[in-house]
Amino acid sequence: MRDGFVKAAVSSPELRVADCRFNREQLAAAAGRMAKEGVKLLVFPEYSLTGYTCNDLFLQDTLLDGALQGLREYREETKNLDLVSVLGLPYLHRGRLYNVAAVVCRGTVCGLVPKSHVPNYGEFYEARQFAPWDGPACEVRLPWGEETVLGNRLLFEARDMPEFTFGIEICEDLWTPEPPSGGLTMAGAVIVVNPSASDELTGKAAYRRELVKNQSARTLSAYLYADAGEGESTQDMVYAGHNLIVENGVILAESQPFAENHDIITEIDLYRLRSERRRMTTFPLMADPGEYGYEIRKFFVGTGEVTQLTRHYDRTPFVPATKRHREERCNEILNIQANGLAKRLRHTGCKNAVIGLSGGLDSTLALLVTVRAFDRLGLDRTGIGSVTMPCFGTTSRTYENAVRLAEELGTTLREVDIKESVSIHFRDIGHDIRVQDVTYENGQARERTQILMDIANQSGGMVIGTGDMSELALGWATYNGDHMSMYGVNCSVPKTLVRYLVQYYADTSDSPALKEILYDVLDTPVSPELLPPKEGEISQRTEDIVGPYELHDFFLYYVLRCGFPPSKIFRLAVYTFQDKYNKETIYKWLYTFFHRFFRQQFKRSCLPDGPKVGTVSVSPRGDLRMPSDASDALWKAELDRIHESLV
């Protein structure tokens, strides 16, 4: 379970109502299959040893004894399996009947967790046979002499991996105003297990799905929901085996209702959940769970092995996976950017804005956002000064796109050729113009910024920054050049998302001419265009120098959003991009990322204001309070170990 991954499964085997022997055989067979798949945590539905729909048969000693015998035989049959499993049965204690989930590991019943809330309405008249549990945990002796604990405030923790801790609530418990999982997770449970038997009604699957997702998100936990399926009585209700595995509100695996196979398997990232709780200081973890009646029960499963990954990771974690969600997100982000800028314009009394328009993606997005802000304020678009400043590296393609875009959007186009002024500046500082080094490149960038600032002074306006978050993370910005503005509308938008925002604007535009321009901008290679073109084409491609932005955005997400170390990020990148980049290429750019990320913090420490659009940002005022002189020695040491494994 290296890197915090635990393979978990939910299974709804075929059963027969009240046939405990048959049901036990099905559960044991499922456990055997799951163990071969590397599963460490397996959850079965409510009353999985008897069936949920036994009704008054639960009052028969024969069924109760059969259930306990089934539990005894299940623990014997699975004692050599390296997994912990949760199964359901009725249990009689001091004259009261309880609906319990039994936790079994290596031939031991680690604990019995009774249902806290027993339904007494409609078809769920469980209170006819069962009592809710509302007392402290107590020791109980099972018929074969084994002693265990009965209680609804039990936490089950792996001996060698404290993050592998789960608590249990049963079916109806989740549907109450204060589910037990709230207290269980505050007491330290990272996983919530729910053996359930939820009947299927029109629209209920969607409601159930949202309920599980929301509870998982609220408790910053993984949630395993095991639903009764085939084999239950259909006398009055039908059960569909709607199983779910959710991590922090995101569905990792789901069996659709009435599917032929109800088994689902995936990996839970316990370290990511730990990271989320560490970041979310408002999540009230208990300092001493025992003070509130919670008791920890230990179990042992192998934690040293490497879990084979099967879950899906998006190559572009900042970008929604589906077209509908992308469109919703793009519209929302454009509104956030435009509203942020509109507020700043209104506050300062500015009715003019100045943008350096290069014909590239970032400046195009900045102009589109500014146009939207001006429209929102009812300002004339001619107050937007679109300034194109051709120099040594400008190509006809980007120049023409910049000009056409400014004119098509109704802004005021202004061209300032900076070749002469930059050449004079090089002469003044004694720089040979034939030496195309960092001075040659940055001199152009700073000249452009000076021009923009001065034009803004002339018009009583403000300079709109165009740089994106990916560039800021890598320090791919000229200090006091394109690094500086009065308001940076793209400062928290990663490069991979910039592309989708421009694409969305093009797709939803009513202007064929604007569509054509934007599509060509999207097809243009990313470049600062600070070196002379070769045969009229862009010679300086950013991704050839600093690496592919899709990799850097992937790294950035898991560094800032999840706090993952280099080794885990490398593993996830190799797994996610295995058909596109080899290990050596991924390592090369991961090393570049960490090297530049640490070395370039001084640029991020003095960023202009700009709107935050997502959960990750590099603003020094709230999201990334990182010292400019922080050492990267620990990260580099881990990167060196990765390199040694590749040699």
What would the DSSP string read from start to end of 585-606? HHHHHHHHHHHHHHHTHHHHTT
pLDDT band with cut points at 50, 70 and 90 for residue 474: very high
Average pLDDT over residues 454-472: 97
Which of helix, strand or coil describes residue 315? coil
CA dist 298 and 472 (Å) reads 46
Average pLDDT over residues 101-119: 97
> Do residues 174 and 221 lie in contact, with contact meaning Cβ atoms separated by under 8 Å?
no
Q: Could you give the C-alpha distances from 143 to 64, 71, 140, 203, 379, in angstroms and in order?
A: 12, 11, 10, 43, 81
pLDDT band with cut points at 50, 70 and 90 for residue 240: confident
Three-state secondary structure readout of 350-369: CCCEEEECCCCHHHHHHHHH
pLDDT band with cut points at 50, 70 and 90 for residue 420: very high
- Residue 218 has phi, psi (to 5 degrees) of -65, -35
User: What does the pLDDT look like over 36-71, one tens digit per residue?
Assistant: 999 999 999 999 999 998 989 999 999 999 999 999
pLDDT band with cut points at 50, 70 and 90 for residue 174: very high
pLDDT band with cut points at 50, 70 and 90 for residue 436: very high
In the predicted structure, residue 330 carries a pLDDT above the cut 70: yes
Average pLDDT over residues 453-482: 96
Q: Pick the catalytic residue from 40, 46, 163, 562.
A: 46
The fraction of the chain above a pLDDT of 70, given in percent, is 99
> Do residues 167 and 185 lie in contact, with contact meaning Cβ atoms separated by under 8 Å?
yes
Q: Which of 455, 451, 446 is nearest to 426 (CA)?
A: 446
In the predicted structure, residue 123 carries a pLDDT above the cut 70: no
pLDDT band with cut points at 50, 70 and 90 for residue 431: very high
Task: Read off the tokens for 10.
Answer: 């939910």
Amino acid letter, 453: M
3-state helix, strand, coil in the chain (%, to 5): 45, 20, 40
Q: Which of 472, 475, 508 is nearest to 488 (CA)?
A: 472
Active site residue 606: no
> Do residues 401 and 359 lie in contact, with contact meaning Cβ atoms separated by under 8 Å?
yes
User: What does the pLDDT look like over 476-517, one tens digit per residue?
Assistant: 999 999 999 999 999 999 999 999 999 999 999 999 999 999
pTM score: 0.92
CA dist 619 and 561 (Å) reads 14
pLDDT band with cut points at 50, 70 and 90 for residue 147: very high
Q: Which of 226, 285, 275 is nearest to 248 (CA)?
A: 275
Instruction: Sheet with 147-150: list strands edge to edge.
Output: 138-141, 147-150, 108-114, 96-105, 84-93, 41-43, 5-10, 264-269
Average pLDDT over residues 575-593: 97
Q: Which of 220, 218, 221 is nearest to 193 (CA)?
A: 221
pLDDT band with cut points at 50, 70 and 90 for residue 122: low
**Bridge partner list, 98:** 91
Q: Pick the catalytic residue from 20, 105, 110, 171.
A: 171
* E strands present in 177-277: 191-195, 222-226, 244-247, 250-254, 264-269
Determine the pLDDT at residue 538.
79
Determine the pLDDT at residue 414.
97
> What is the average pLDDT value for the chain, to the nearest integer?
95
Determine the pLDDT at residue 542.
86
CA dist 508 and 621 (Å) reads 35
In this structure, the number of other CB atoms found within 10 A of the CB of residue 170 comes to 29
Determine the pLDDT at residue 552.
98
Three-state secondary structure readout of 433-454: CCCCCHHHHHHHHHHHHHHHHH
* E strands present in 142-261: 147-150, 154-158, 161-168, 191-195, 222-226, 244-247, 250-254
Tell me which H or E stretch contains 113. strand 108-114
User: What does the pLDDT look like over 356-396, one tens digit per residue?
Assistant: 999 999 999 999 999 999 999 999 999 999 999 999 999 99
Q: Pick the catalytic residue from 7, 20, 110, 115.
A: 115
The fraction of the chain above a pLDDT of 90, given in percent, is 87
Active site residue 115: yes
Average pLDDT over residues 609-617: 95
Determine the pLDDT at residue 526.
87
CA dist 75 and 57 (Å) reads 24
Determine the pLDDT at residue 541.
85
pLDDT band with cut points at 50, 70 and 90 for residue 124: low
Active site residue 298: no
Q: Which residues, in sequence order, are CB contacts of 501 under 8 Å at separation 6+?
A: 330, 333, 334, 365, 368, 493
CA dist 641 and 164 (Å) reads 27
